[in-house]
Amino acid sequence: MGLRSPHSPHSPHGAHSPHSPHSKDHLLGTLDLLVLRVLVGGSTLHGYAITARIVTTSRETLQVEEGSLYPALHRMEEAGWVRSTWGLSENKRRARFYTITARGRRHLADIEEAWTKHVDAVTRVLRHA
Amino acid sequence: MSFLTRWLNRLRRGAWERDFDDEVRAHLDLRVSDNLRAGMTQEEAEADAFRRFGSVEEAKGGMRRARGLPQPSRRPAFVVLAAVAAAIVVTILVQRGPSYYRVGEDNVESPQVVSNPRPQYTAEAMQAQLQGRVALECVVQTDGVCTDLRVVESLDPAGLDEQAAAALRQWRFEPGRRNGDPVPVLVNVEFMFTLR
């Protein structure tokens, strides 16, 4: 959800198929994981910086559908995993900055564990089935 | 619901809408600056920012849902608009045509966009809050001009399709080449019409 592979066959330029059936299901829920992980370093970041971190850290393998990050951030704030404050962006524009909360850290630990288990399980099947 | 509650709700909703707008704008603005720094022209930088962002309306709809706010039943009457032509030249990978080439075989290199004026929004499309994609196909001749335009994906036949075609007619390309020589090449160009 909100993530796509830049090389998905359905989006030659990664541009126009935010709803492509590909690259969606298997990444479901990972946006929360990635966002919280980026924020857990203790930094307070606006959405653009979060996007940039995810893209650079993944060496451009993960491309965030940038617009879809914001509903996720607002949902996470409603869930109490992040909180936001207003500040000024590098361009001196009013921007919302996000920080992870204690509850967000606990949630991150949970979903990180679930993710690792899931990946391990898939890896085992790939190796041994 | 009392008048006062309704009025307060409306104020609250208005504040959220401004927040959403500011947040989206800050994002697009930062992307444009980064793009400019990377050497893009203003037009390219803006088009790329919108392309990467996806639908602004959809993002705002998602934010409203996340906050439990109602979706607006009527779109706002006044919108500042920007017609954004994403300069996406999708090369075609199929066989060779009768009087032109297609990229991807026979050592054919894709034409490169040299200048890409934006299409205009029509008043009708603005009023109808029409947004979306128009895909056109044309043959880039060896002089860098488009001929044989055809609408591949229509959005608004009498309006935005025409505007997209008019813009594309003014585009100039570095012609495609085959073994180093300029040749006519079929290209697809997609225009994104976005209101903001």
What is the CATH number for A120?
1.10.10.10
Q: What pLDDT does residue B105 have?
A: 55
Q: Label residues A9-44 b or e (16+ Cβ within 10 Å = b).
A: eebeebbbbbeeeebbeebeebbbbbbbbbbeeeee
* CA distance linking residue B159 with residue A53, whole number of Å: 40
- pLDDT tens for B68-92 read 988 765 433 333 333 444 434 444 3
> Do residue B22 and residue A16 have CB atoms under 8 angstroms apart?
no
| Residue A10 clears pLDDT 60, i.e. is over it | no
Least confident of A3-7, B97-101, B142-146, B188-192: A3-7
Instruction: Give the sign of the dihedral formed by CA B132, CA B136, CA B141, CA B146.
Output: negative
* CA distance linking residue A36 with residue A38, whole number of Å: 5
- pLDDT tens for A49-60 read 999 998 888 887
Closest Cα partner for B81 from B46, B36, B53, B32? Answer: B46
**Structure tokens of B27?**
């994002």
Q: What pLDDT does residue A8 have?
A: 38
Q: What pLDDT does residue B35 have?
A: 93
User: Among residues 55-84 of chain B, which lie with CB inside 8 Å of chain A?
Assistant: 55-56, 58-59, 61-63, 65-68
Q: What pLDDT does residue B46 have?
A: 83
Model ipTM over 0.85: no
Amino acid letter, A78:
E
**Structure tokens of A118?**
């899931």
**B25 has a chain A CB within 8 A of its CB:** yes
Closest Cα partner for B187 from B179, A9, B174, B119? Answer: B174
- pLDDT tens for A68-118 read 999 999 999 999 999 999 999 988 889 999 999 999 999 999 999 999 998
Residue of A nearest to B61 (CA): A71
pTM of the full structure: 0.56
**Number of structural domains, chain A?**
1
**A94 has a chain B CB within 8 A of its CB:** yes
Q: What pLDDT does residue A70 have?
A: 95
Cβ neighbour number for residue B175 with a 10 Å cutoff? 21
- pLDDT tens for B128-175 read 888 888 888 888 888 999 888 888 888 888 888 998 899 889 989 888
**B196 has a chain A CB within 8 A of its CB:** no
**Mean pLDDT across B14-34:** 88
Q: What pLDDT does residue A18 have?
A: 38
Structural domain boundaries, residue A110: 3-128
* CA distance linking residue A57 with residue B136, whole number of Å: 36
